[in-house]
Chain A
Amino acid sequence: MLKSPTTEEAIEKKQASSKKRSTFKLNANDKYFSLLFLGPSLLILGLFVFYPMIKTFYISMFLTNTLGKTSVFAGFSNYAELLTSPDFLNSLVVTLAYVLGVTFFTLAISLLLANLASKKLPGIGIFRTLYSVTMGVSVSVAAIFWLFIFNPSTGFFAIIANALKLTPINWLTDPSNAMWAVIITTVWMNLGFTFLILLGAIESVPQTLYEAASVEGASPRFQFFKITLPMISPTLFFVSTITIIDAFKSFGLIDLITKGGPTNATNMLVYRIYKDAFYSGNYAQASTEAIILTVIIAAFTLLQFKFLEKKVNY
């Protein structure tokens, strides 16, 4: 009597019908008709996405002159050369460190802020607005703002250090500090969006779940880790994927704050591609790097979907 057969039948029927759908065949007429609908978007995507991608891959297989014209077919030797170049490997490592740092701190801080801002307290609206305000700040404004803060003699950090009689940190000239400087700036930029999305997710968790848990004896801490986190895990997954992809593609802040320096300490892949192509005129190498970056981002995203997606969807 527990296993109401009707629901089980219903579930089986549903599975069966979805199987049927996957083997559904289009007849010839429908095929042409469907092309009519797909046509416009295929055309635009092909022209502006697929063609440049294929062309980039094509260029990466050649040597190029300074105008970007292909000269000698080089096969995969561009790849081999890059993957053994210490300079490029440094860029890879730096990029990975940056991506991990940015993703971790963005998620941790915005989760903390979102959790605080979800409490029903007087004046909480002010904080919600403040926390999400970086969404409206442009990269260049943020970069200038943070350059002032990082300034070793007149910056905010320097003033505090001086007041405490400490030596001010050379944020932008010391290689290991420069990495922190760009991570801090990027995290600050990311917070607004991530905060808002996570706040939305936390607010949509049904209140009765918390009520049921508190009647059953769960502490607020237990409720956060055993209810809030699992309930918002699909959103966390989405936000982390976006943050990772965004961090890999980071360009503006790096160009404005460190220009990849000092001594290549913040020379991320995208910035490197830009310099190789438009400063050194080495289009073949830049194209090769672009392809490698694409593969890395795709691999990261695939891995995330493979290992995390099942766990977060309930």
Chain B
Amino acid sequence: MSTILKNVTKQYDQDKKVLDNVSAEIQTGEFFVIVGPSGCGKSTLLRMIAGLTQISEGTIKIEDRVVNDLSPKDRNLTMVFQSYALFPFLSVWDNVAFGLKARKADKADIEKRVNDALKMVNLEELRDRKPRELSGGQRQRVALARAVASDAKICLMDEPLSNLDAQLRIKMRQEIYALQRKLGLTLIYVTHDQVEAMTMADHIMVLNDSKIQQVGTPEEIYQHPANEFVASFFGVPPINILPAQKVSEAILQVNSDFEVTLPHPIAHANVRVGIRPTDMKVVDSDELHANATIKAVEFLGNEKIVHAKMSHGGEVSVIVSSEEVFQPYQNVEITADSEFLLFDVDGKNITNKGAVTHA
């Protein structure tokens, strides 16, 4: 009982594949997030699961049934669109009831389901309003209520929060999460926002360039990214990636600016290291020992982000405590401990941590 994607491929013309050989298994009742930069094919994948876009190759199975050639209405799922897709001429109540009426559900049943759904998203009092009389967040809730009212157990969401302002987004994030848990929905959620992916997902699928980069839990993805792309996609500010050479069995020279100790032997002479902004140190330094110059300092309240230019090219961001004082153009020495990731020149993660990768 799950949704299985097997070698799913989408191709519009001969040379360009929009999605290339995507396989994954989505467990019933889990919050599954598909994340990637724009143009990576994530929305196409979701539309293929919904049946709105034809599958070129491969199979999609929902609950042991191959759905490749089923029309959207026969797949028994619901979908929340980025634009909410509310009917402007219908009241909130009728918008939520639309699907049930289309499926010719029985009147009393419609009444009950719609009222319950509106209650669940706290919209009972606005049931007679038209969509144009609602705020963005309220419209979003109507779209959610529509998904809730349906008896489908699989819900697809295509960037549902991207039209909301930052504060509302955080609030709706929590509400969607709570709703999914409460109803035991299988939620397949597409977003370009890594924070949404990290905070809500049971499993994350990272897509880039039409291909799966990694599938895993948020912890796995953050701590053991499969490659440089995944590592730099998650975390704010993004992980610092710098070239490095092996100077001895245990020592790496990073960017010709500082040295770090290797946690384990590696075969490659040239590698790239990824160091999270929290794992780097900045200290004031004289011109002789300095290996970087500060470009900008951002104050975030409980911490500061120091953006610096390394002497041998490349830029890094370091998170420091907000008590520390740094000025732009200040000469500093930047170093790191042994907390870092190693990538080969092709970007593949070669850190030996018994990493669990599902790619």
Contact = CB atoms under 8 A, between A and B. Distances in A.
Interface of A: 1-4, 6-7, 11, 206, 208-209, 211-219, 222, 226-227, 230-231, 233, 314
7 contacts: A2-B122, A3-B125, A7-B135, A208-B81, A215-B51, A216-B73, A233-B89
B89 A314 contact: yes
Q: Say whether chain A's binding surface is mostly helix, strand, loop, or mixed.
A: helix
Contact of B87 (A2, A7, A209): A209
Number of chain B interface residues as a range: 35 or more
B135 A218 contact: no
Given A4-B138, A206-B83, A314-B130, A216 B89 contact: no
Interface in B117-166: 121-126, 130, 132-135, 137-138, 141, 146, 150, 156
A314 B129 CA distance: 11
Contacts of A230: 87, 89-90
Interface stretch (B98-106, B190-198, B315-323): B98-106
B50 A217 contact: no
Contacts of B81: 208, 211-212
B50 A215 contact: yes
Contacts of B138: 2, 4, 7
Nearest to B52: A211
A2 B137 CA distance: 9
Contact of A227 (B87, B101, B134): B87
Contacts of B73: 214-219
A208 B87 contact: no
Contact of A7 (B101, B102, B134): B134
Contacts of A212: 79, 81, 85, 146
Contacts of B265: none
B89 A231 contact: yes
A312 B75 CA distance: 34
A242 to B, nearest CB: 22
Given A217-B99, A217-B103, 15 more contacts: A3-B125, A3-B126, A4-B135, A4-B138, A7-B138, A206-B85, A208-B81, A211-B79, A212-B81, A214-B73, A215-B72, A219-B73, A222-B102, A230-B87, A233-B89
A180 to B, nearest CB: 36
A155 to B, nearest CB: 46
A226 B71 CA distance: 19
Contact of A208 (B85, B89, B102): B85
Interface of B: 50-52, 71-73, 75, 77-79, 81, 83, 85, 87-90, 98-99, 101-103, 121-126, 130, 132-135, 137-138, 141, 146, 150, 156
Contacts of B146: 212, 216
A222 to B, nearest CB: 5
Contacts of A2: 121-126, 138, 141
Contacts of A213: 98-99, 102
A20 B139 CA distance: 29
B102 A219 contact: yes
Nearest to A210: B85
B117 to A, nearest CB: 13
Find the residue from B85, B134, B150 having the highest chain A CB count within 10 A.
Answer: B85
A216 B122 CA distance: 22
A4 B125 CA distance: 12
Find the residue from A2, A215, A217 having the highest chain B CB count within 10 A.
Answer: A215
A231 B88 CA distance: 8
Contacts of A11: 133
Nearest to A7: B135
A226 B156 CA distance: 23
Contact of A217 (B102, B124, B132, B156): B102
A208 B83 contact: yes
Contacts of A231: 87-89
A314 B88 contact: yes
Contacts of A211: 50, 52, 72, 79, 81, 85
A53 to B, nearest CB: 38
B335 to A, nearest CB: 48
B85 to A, nearest CB: 4
B134 A209 contact: no
Query: Closest 4 CB pairs between A and B?
Result: A216-B99, A2-B122, A314-B89, A212-B85
A208 B83 CA distance: 8
A290 B132 CA distance: 44
A214 B72 CA distance: 6
B279 to A, nearest CB: 39
A208 to B, nearest CB: 4
Contacts of B126: 2-3
Given A7-B138, A211-B85, A215-B52, A226 B98 contact: yes
Nearest to A1: B122
Contact of A4 (B50, B103, B137): B137
Contacts of B99: 213, 216-218
A216 B83 contact: no
Contacts of B83: 206, 208
